[in-house]
A = this chain, B = another copy of it.
Amino acid sequence: MDGNMRLRSELGKSADDLRVHGGRIDAAARLYPSAPQPWIDLSTGINPIAWPVPQIGLARYQRLPLASEISAMLDAAAGFYGLPANAGIVPVPGSEIAIRLLPRLLPPGRVGILTPTYGSHAVAWREAGAEVLELTGLPDPGSGDLEHLVVVNPNNPDGRVLPCAELAAFAKAWTEAGHYLIVDEAFAEVAEGASLLSMPELPAGVVVLRSLGKFFGLAGLRVGFVVVAKPAVSAWHHSLGDWPVSGPACEIAALALRDGAWITATRTRLATDRKRQNHILEQAGFRVLGGTDLFGLFEAPDESDWLDHFAQAGILVRAFAATPQRYRIGLPADEAAWRRLELACRAASSPARRPNTAQSVTPRPAR
């Protein structure tokens, strides 16, 4: 393989990466070396104005988190999320690990997943050898076809919300029939009344996942929580040991989850920013298909390669291999980023500078 072929093959692989998952700005920067700097990553649903992390005392790095420090974090989580009276809350080093462990902790069986949704759920179950059925709506609770069901609520990328009352009623019937229900609430902070954690009792067989990654903007911190009825708590402890979350993360999570003023102001800001973003994209001919206050799902005005178009402006958005005309776009962090998004949209709607029509990603290296 000569140098050029190797380069092209590597680029092809990386370009596919951009369609598989958000947050790959290092791959994007390699593919578009002449794009403006710094890269603006709108490919995730992460709040770009994160909870302001203070400096952490060195002791937290040095010794294992104390039981009292872990309790303080769990109390803060229960206080903010709510906690059904019969439930326990287990910290995890990012909800991704919880997603990966689920197929190993629950009994084997076929799993249904409400789709389209966050891809890791299907990957985790398939890699563990389970059969995965993609569903477009809640199944009949009495159905014998499935053992488990995964619901992301609010859903990513379309923002579909199953109201708590509806999902709670389903959860009761579904688990009474001997099934398990996994509810990934990674975006529930911006969907009031959606979380199952407002239930007075959590049905045995329900697993709720929460995370500090999205709303608090602390994806790099790797802190999430698993909430289950108390008898199921010990299996999670057994799989994770006593200190799954780092000392600094314990302190940061406890402080962030108690910061009511920041939480209120952030909800307001995110709602305002989402309206601004919708407006900008609509001006460029995009149609708003859905979203939450942390990201929008848009249908492009044509079949041209908008991932490429935005990437040339140093903006990474999220494209989807299965639905090439749809794009998930997160919120800009500051006025410079808003301006670059606006300019990229304006350039796109000027006929002279319209992006090439192309079905596949055609990155332009070293230009």
Residues on A lying within 8 angstroms of B by beta carbon are: 21, 23-27, 41, 44, 46, 48, 50, 53, 55, 58-68, 93-94, 96-97, 99-101, 104, 120, 124, 127-128, 213, 217-222, 238-249, 252
Interchain CA distance A245-B64 in the complex, whole Å: 16
Set of chain B residues within 8 Å of A248, measured between Cβ atoms: 220-221, 248
10 A-B contacts, Cβ less than 8 Å apart?
A: A24-B66, A55-B55, A59-B220, A61-B220, A94-B244, A97-B240, A128-B238, A219-B247, A222-B244, A246-B249
Interchain CA distance A65-B68 in the complex, whole Å: 29
| Copies of this chain present | 2
Could you tell me the distance in whole angstroms from the C-beta of A25 to the nearest C-beta in chain B?
A: 7
Contact between A240 and B104 (Cβ–Cβ < 8 Å)?
A: no
Contact between B219 and A63 (Cβ–Cβ < 8 Å)?
A: yes
- Which of A101, A127, A220, A252 has the most chain B CB atoms closer than 10 A to its own CB? A220
Could you tell me the distance in whole angstroms from the C-beta of A244 to the nearest C-beta in chain B?
A: 6
Contact between B64 and A58 (Cβ–Cβ < 8 Å)?
A: no
Contact between B63 and A94 (Cβ–Cβ < 8 Å)?
A: no
Contact between A221 and B242 (Cβ–Cβ < 8 Å)?
A: no
Could you tell me the distance in whole angstroms from the C-beta of A354 to the nearest C-beta in chain B?
A: 31
Q: Which of B24, B41, B55, B222 contacts A243 (CB 8 A)?
A: B222
Contact between A220 and B238 (Cβ–Cβ < 8 Å)?
A: no
Interchain CA distance A240-B94 in the complex, whole Å: 10
Interchain CA distance A21-B59 in the complex, whole Å: 19
Could you tell me the distance in whole angstroms from the C-beta of A207 to the nearest C-beta in chain B?
A: 16
Interchain CA distance A25-B65 in the complex, whole Å: 11
Contact between B66 and A242 (Cβ–Cβ < 8 Å)?
A: no
Set of chain B residues within 8 Å of A120, measured between Cβ atoms: 241
Given the known interface contacts A58-B50, A100-B239, the answer about A222 and B93 at a Cβ–Cβ threshold of 8 Å is yes
